[in-house]
Amino acid sequence: MAFKILLTDYEFEHLQFEEDVFQESGLEIDFIKAQCKTEEEVIEQAKDADAILNQYAPISRRVIESLENTKIISRYGVGVNTIDLNAAKEKGITVANVPDYGMEEVSNHALALLLSSARKVTLLNKEVKKGNWDFNVCVPIHRFNEQTVGVLGFGRIPRRFIEKVKPLGFKTAAYDPFVSATDMAAVGVQKMELDEIIREADYLSVHVPLIDETYHLINEDRLKQMKKNAIIINTARGPIIDETALIEALEKRTIAGAALDVTENEPVSNDSPLLRMDNVIITPHSAWYSEEAMVELRQKAARNIIQVLSGEKTPYALT
């Protein structure tokens, strides 16, 4: 009897990478492709699925409680905020992600946003193209070795980001309640508490997952604590920053700028003030992307499923 694998939704041009993994497994697979948008659509499609491959469709408690045979839910990506982990754990369903596929890409993108902000490349480019050949539009710019780059979170991506930042001369600090000061010091990074790093960082790069505890972690009060010259970089998830408070802080120049690959609502609204600000850089949730990362993501998400259906454990299991 074939295993039913439901792909809840996808935005890829083809599914050859996933299909190759399934075919090479030797298992008999019935691969069902859907484009679910709502809980109801997922429930209808997934009720008797042995495994679920998920991109954006909601896998809520209600969905999970309706599942009859599901052994694993594998998500394309690092974040699993589309899936109710507690409900899955209660039901004995493995949830897996692909936490390492975009480590180089996201850390590189955060670095690109940092450098563009620090040297005001985007602003200068815009001014020159307007006919304004004048370096004074970027005043002030400071030497890297006089500034501190702080990271929120110290997992794979922020560690790699810091490895790339340090040779440029920046001082480095990190906040992560799950990593000791000794472990950070071993790689030349100063451990700080949250409020301390908020106050001390000239560039604050966000790398924490979006969970209940990190929703609006950067809020009005914390933005007010930041340096007036500070720039916040976010390549994690938009709702970690209270966007209304961020816009107000940027408008009032409470902080100097923002470099965002993610926003609270995506795509960003055409009437968002963020799009009209010269001190803001926005990219369209593209930090994860390279051709190589795309292939790795899709193959590993599919392999999570094959491992569990074969009676093995996937190294990327979260429940």
Catalytic residue selected from 40, 90, 266, 292: 266
Task: Assess contact for 73 and 94: CB atoms under 8 A.
Answer: yes
Query: Is 285 considered catalytic here?
Result: yes
Burial string for 7-23 (b: 16+ CB within 10 Å, else e) reads bbbbeeeebebbeebbe
Going by C-beta distance under 8 Å and a sequence separation of 6 or more, which residues neighbour residue 253?
A: 228
For 306, the token pair is: 């094959």
Cα distances from 117 to residues 248, 256, 278, in angstroms, run 19, 10, 11
Q: Is 2 exposed, middle or buried, given 0-12, 13-18 or 19+ CB atoms closer than 10 A? A: exposed
Helix (H) or strand (E) holding 284: none
Question: Rounded CA gap, 287 and 271, in Å?
Answer: 23
Instruction: State the amino acid at position 121 in one-letter form.
Output: V
**From 207, 237, 298, 303, active-site residue:** 237
Q: Which of 61, 156, 216, 285 is catalytic?
A: 285
- Say how many residues make up the chain: 319
**Cα separation, 281 vs 123, whole angstroms:** 9
Residues with catalytic function: 237, 266, 285
